[in-house]
Structure 1
Amino acid sequence: MDRKASAKQLFFFSVINYIGTAIGILSVMFIYPKDLAFIGTIRYIDSIAQTIFPVMVLGASHALIKFYPALDEKHRRQLFNYSIASVSAISLGVLLLVITVGHFTEYENSGLLYYAFPIAVSLAFIELFKKQAQDLQRIAVPTLYERIIPKIVLPLAFLLLLGHIFSVQESILVYVGGYGAVFLLTAIYLFKRFRPGFNYRFKTLFGTISRKDYFRYSLYSFAGSLGSLLAFRIDGIIIPEFISVEANGIFSNGVTLASTLQIPAVGMFALYAPIISSYLQNHNMKELDMKYKEVARLLFFIGAVLYSCIFFGINDLFSLLPDSDKLQGSVPVIQILGFSVLINMATGFNGEIITYSRYYRFNLIAVLLLIVLNVGLNIYFLSYTGLGIIGVAYASFLSMTLFNMAKLAFIYKKFGLLPFDAKFLQLGIIFLLCGLGVYYLPDTRSHLFNLVYKTGLSLAINVIVAYRMKLVWQLNRWVDKILPL
């Protein structure tokens, strides 16, 4: 596919992510607080499914990307068929394990495993189909199904429950059915464009690629994927076990809102990934260093502007909403996790530099470090402090910060690169001084006025000063295009 078509796919990919996020934010503010126990249960089921499905995939989806270019059309179809066969076989094994846990153990929430399993199977095949679609440069439509349908189905299940039309179990089944719909629609879309046939004799496939190399790469990819999910999804499993599903609902609402900060970073990393890979392959460290600093400064600016608005406006915004008393509990979580996302953005594309270099195995070490830190800190805060979900947020913040610091130190040691420069420091000082100034301004009796004047003032000062000092060249270019002098 040509560059114009690829850019079009990337554009639609970004738009779809923003639409899905907008639906999620509206649901968090107006629907989910009406039954925190139900949203907590859903998030618990979802966390279990997200943990199980990498086991079913076992790195097969990443192997499709890795080995696809080296194969002819016949062996590409065989590789895809082999991936389907392996995911199906492992899924049956996982089902037997779920039945064993459900019938022969005293696990309190074993009944929820039967809801999580079909979601996990759907996610496993969706992941596989998406990677094949990525090989075909057809990622926008599968992303539309994956990002939008569950975001619509979950509020629908809520409304059916709140309207006393469906029971809790029936509403959960609606949510499960949403993932089944994504699975079917993605399959239909893919198989209209790619016909793998039914050749399940794989001897010729592994005569073309090394079986040893295939399984080594698949297992490495599986370990990395599972590690990342354990690190980022463990909160949704630990909170119901240590506190309650209601607390899990409050925490998940905070996670949803805090994660909106990182949307610009996701698109930016996708855009720069091929460029980073090219610089590393050509040993162009000078250009890589320049882009590393440039992108980190831009993402820090965007993240800090958004975080400032959230920090100063979230309390007043929630006070204006119908279920403000139920939303207020997530404010500290949003502020802590939002700051964690800001740090992640400020460190730039450090993960991509490691991934596309010959030191890619370090990512697995870093993820394992993150798992140990996150699980250990979660257990500590929940067992030895009375902070509750705020402690979980602190655990996530500390582990993610140390995770990013470890990657920064590794990149500096191996490449001599850092994402920070004098302009980055100047930006940090501007945001700090502006934040302190706005924070100590007096509040009025009107939540709406406080929301507008504090967030507006913070936004205006930070943007104007950064523009006048020319600290972010992309900002100056955008402003000059919109307001030509």
Structure 2
Amino acid sequence: MSKLAKQSILTTISAYMGVVIGYFNLLWLMPYVLKPEQIGLFKTIQDMALLMVPFAQMGVGNGITRFFPQVKEEKFSFFTFSLFLGFVGYIALLVCFLLFKEPISAAFSENSPEVNEYIQVALLITFLSVVNTLLEAFSRSFLKIAIPSLIRDVLLRLLMGLLVIGYFFDLYPFFLMIWGMVLVYLLTLVSMAFYMRKIGIFQLQFNWGSIPGALKKAFFQYNIITMLGTAGALLIMKIDSLMVSSMIGLDANAVYTIGFSIAVVIEMPRRAISQVAMPIISEKFAANQLPEIDALYKKIAIHQLLVCGLVFLLIWVNIDTLYHFVPNREVYEAGKWVVLLIGLGKLSDVLFSVNGEIIVFSRFYVFNITATLLMAIAVILLNLLFIPLFGIEGAALASLLAMFFYNFIKFFYVKVRLGFNPFTLGVFKIVFAGGVSWAVSFFLLPTVDWVLVDLILRSGLVLLVYLPLVYYLKAAPEAEEWIRLMIKKWINRSGN
């Protein structure tokens, strides 16, 4: 097994371990230990900090990955130079924050005044996250991926869980638990630096003059462009949580955050497929194999809709049962319509396939940044419009509309510029199979009082309708062939 393949497998394992720990923390531990307004404050401070990271980092993390192959002779000077730029970016962010401190504080003063008491926590977490991101990017350039992923996905979430458990056992008051988040991020940063030092890739060298001026210029330009795209994408993901806190309250954000987190499960298969597809798309663009990219565009649309659509169905038909397992569910089950709306938004990401990845690796990559920034502005305006009208459902509706139009604009651009189209008859067959599966479960199966029995019956009925319909309609013949091949291999191994 190659080193890269081994790193990829370990990284994938870490990612899924992190997801399990993260969902345990958010869907069970926090609702059990904390009050809704405490969860809302905890998540608001964390989201605020992470939202500021791409602005403070100035895109340097992506730039390290992009330009590292060109500076291997002066890699540690380049590393130190990148850290310096990260510090400069953070100072610039801090100055801007101080200049606009009054309007930022005013946004939370009416409905969530507690947020203003912990702004310093958010700023410290931002700084630690910026440095950690740059260390991780440099480590990734050496193809050292597994341990940084373990630190980011597993250790961070484990420490967050332990922080909440410590509060549960009265080891410290709530305000120290919030400040404890700084310690958690500091420990992950120290772990990352220790790992890099141990394997010999953490060295500070200040010979910046050895880095060519033309490369520095290209590095700056690339960083600014990617910063805009990364910041815009994160703004779309995080701004609704902050706006719910500021416009409604921290308890509402707790309800919204838990609903949002349930819905995000839908896109996990899409993320995995996207990670595999990106290098393939990049290679085919480099070889100018446009018809092959179009064919891949269509195949991915079918197969990720096949999987993600099923996940969405299983979540939605069992939504009341899922909330049954959340402590204090009478408070949090008000967010079930958030699950539906955010889930539909995530399905729009799935439905339009890898349009964003295609744009990024084409010569039209700047458009992706333009579209992202436009949608970031749109989601803010939509939240301002819908939250006063519909509360947390309004925030979810704003995200749904933003995600749909964001994808539709990218689809239209790819169609016009490159002539690619992800929609085939197979996509519509899968949508039809999903609609019939939901209708059968909703109209024909009564609610069963025993929660686990109801969960098994509804999930089983959806599978019994969805999968045979997809097979009968020949919606995804390549997936069928792959399953047959896997079954044949398993039978052959069993026979041996």
Give the AA of the match of 2:437: C
1:69 aligns with 2:73: no
Q: Which residue in 2 is equivalent to 1:24?
A: 22
Comparing 12-21 and 275-284, the one that deviates more: 12-21
Residue of structure 1 aligned with 2:453, choices 443, 449, 452: 449
SS at match of 2:300: helix
Preserved contact between residue 305 and residue 351 of structure 2 (Cα < 8 Å): yes
Residue of structure 2 aligned with 1:277, choices 274, 282, 285: 282
Comparing 306-315 and 81-90, the one that deviates more: 81-90
Q: Which residue in 1 is equivalent to 2:54?
A: 54
Where do 5+ consecutive residues of structure 1 fail to align?
Answer: none
Q: Which residue in 1 is equivalent to 2:153?
A: 147
Shift of the 449–104 alpha-carbon distance from structure 1 to 2, 3 Å rule, reads closer
Paired residues for 1:373-452 under 5 Å: 373-383=378-388, 385=389, 387-441=390-444, 442-452=446-456
Give the AA of the match of 2:23: I
Comparing 246-255 and 62-71, the one that deviates more: 62-71
1:464 aligns with 2:462: no
SS at match of 1:185: helix
Comparing 197-206 and 287-296, the one that deviates more: 197-206
Paired residues for 1:119-134 under 5 Å: 119-134=125-140
Q: Which residue in 2 is equivalent to 1:198?
A: 204
Q: CA deviation at 1:103?
A: 9.1
SS at match of 2:423: coil
Q: CA deviation at 1:97?
A: 5.3
Residue of structure 2 aligned with 1:184, choices 175, 179, 190: 190
Deviations 1:400-419 (A, max 9, x none): 00000011001001111111
Comparing 367-376 and 326-335, the one that deviates more: 326-335
> 1:462 & 1:105 partners in 2: Cα distance?
48
> 1:93 & 1:367 partners in 2: Cα distance?
23
Shift of the 362–96 alpha-carbon distance from structure 1 to 2, 3 Å rule, reads closer
Shift of the 422–126 alpha-carbon distance from structure 1 to 2, 3 Å rule, reads same
Give the AA of the match of 1:448: L
Preserved contact between residue 154 and residue 175 of structure 1 (Cα < 8 Å): yes
Give the AA of the match of 2:307: I
> 1:306 & 1:66 partners in 2: Cα distance?
35
Residue of structure 1 aligned with 2:222, choices 193, 217, 220: 217
Preserved contact between residue 139 and residue 201 of structure 2 (Cα < 8 Å): no
Comparing 165-174 and 87-96, the one that deviates more: 87-96
Deviations 1:119-174 (A, max 9, x none): 11111112111111221111121011111123222232222223333211111122
Preserved contact between residue 27 and residue 326 of structure 2 (Cα < 8 Å): yes
Give the AA of the match of 2:10: F
> 1:53 & 1:337 partners in 2: Cα distance?
24
Shift of the 68–436 alpha-carbon distance from structure 1 to 2, 3 Å rule, reads same
Q: CA deviation at 1:101?
A: 6.2
Shift of the 257–250 alpha-carbon distance from structure 1 to 2, 3 Å rule, reads same
Q: CA deviation at 1:470?
A: 3.9
1:304 aligns with 2:309: yes
Q: Which residue in 1 is equivalent to 2:81?
A: 82
> 1:72 & 1:157 partners in 2: Cα distance?
40
Preserved contact between residue 441 and residue 461 of structure 2 (Cα < 8 Å): yes
1:13 aligns with 2:16: no
Preserved contact between residue 371 and residue 410 of structure 2 (Cα < 8 Å): yes
Q: CA deviation at 1:13?
A: 2.0
Preserved contact between residue 79 and residue 204 of structure 2 (Cα < 8 Å): no
Preserved contact between residue 60 and residue 134 of structure 2 (Cα < 8 Å): yes
Comparing 463-472 and 115-124, the one that deviates more: 463-472
Give the AA of the match of 1:49: A
1:172 aligns with 2:178: yes
1:118 aligns with 2:117: no
Shift of the 201–293 alpha-carbon distance from structure 1 to 2, 3 Å rule, reads same
Preserved contact between residue 320 and residue 447 of structure 1 (Cα < 8 Å): no
Give the AA of the match of 1:7: A
Deviations 1:166-202 (A, max 9, x none): 2111111222211111111111222333445433242
Deviations 1:201-240 (A, max 9, x none): 4222134x34332221111111112111222110121111
> 2:257 & 2:325 partners in 1: Cα distance?
21
Preserved contact between residue 317 and residue 448 of structure 1 (Cα < 8 Å): no
Where do 5+ consecutive residues of structure 2 fail to align?
Answer: 110-114, 492-496
> 1:481 & 1:69 partners in 2: Cα distance?
39
> 2:286 & 2:249 partners in 1: Cα distance?
50
Paired residues for 1:229-268 under 5 Å: 229-268=234-273
> 1:43 & 1:67 partners in 2: Cα distance?
34
Q: Which residue in 1 is equivalent to 2:141?
A: 135
Comparing 281-290 and 470-479, the one that deviates more: 470-479
Preserved contact between residue 280 and residue 356 of structure 1 (Cα < 8 Å): yes
State the TM-score, normalizing by the size of structure 2.
Answer: 0.91
> 2:421 & 2:237 partners in 1: Cα distance?
25
> 2:480 & 2:350 partners in 1: Cα distance?
17
SS at match of 2:197: helix
Preserved contact between residue 259 and residue 338 of structure 1 (Cα < 8 Å): yes
SS at match of 1:440: helix
SS at match of 2:212: helix
Comparing 335-344 and 10-19, the one that deviates more: 10-19
> 2:148 & 2:456 partners in 1: Cα distance?
38
Give the AA of the match of 2:40: G
> 1:254 & 1:159 partners in 2: Cα distance?
22
Identity, % of aligned positions: 22
Q: Which residue in 2 is equivalent to 1:370?
A: 375
> 2:466 & 2:278 partners in 1: Cα distance?
29
Give the AA of the match of 1:467: Y
Q: CA deviation at 1:96?
A: 5.1
Q: Which residue in 1 is equivalent to 2:494?
A: none
Give the AA of the match of 2:160: L
Deviations 1:285-321 (A, max 9, x none): 2211111111111100101111100000120232355
